[in-house]
Amino acid sequence: MSDDLGFTFRATKGGEVFVHHRGRLATTLRGEAAADFLSDIDGADHAEQQQIMARSSGNYRRGNERLAKNHPRNR
């Protein structure tokens, strides 16, 4: 599995955090959520940062991808 899931983030002076996935805005964090995100991301390596951003955006694997791939409608 690749360490890069395509997430980036940008923190503003006003305390907002914009999380992008493959160049598109995935979520905006404000207030306590933004502060928690920045404290979690600080000191994490690249792979951990990607996972944190995936969780914060809601774009996170749910465990059913393999089943969905094998469904007749997805073949």
2 belongs to a structural domain: no
36 belongs to a structural domain: yes
12 belongs to a structural domain: yes
Chain segment 32-66, per-residue pLDDT in tens = 999 999 999 999 999 999 989 988 988 666 555 56
* Contact indicator for 55, 48 with CB cutoff of 8 Å: no
pLDDT of 63: 57
Residue 23, CB-side half-sphere exposure with 13 Å CA sphere: 0
Number of structural domains (the chain) is 1
User: Domain range for residue 46?
Assistant: 7-74
1 belongs to a structural domain: no
13 belongs to a structural domain: yes
pLDDT of 5: 85
Of all residues in the chain, the percent with pLDDT exceeding 90 is 59
Please, which pLDDT band fits residue 4 given cuts at 50, 70 and 90? confident
**Total-model pTM:** 0.73
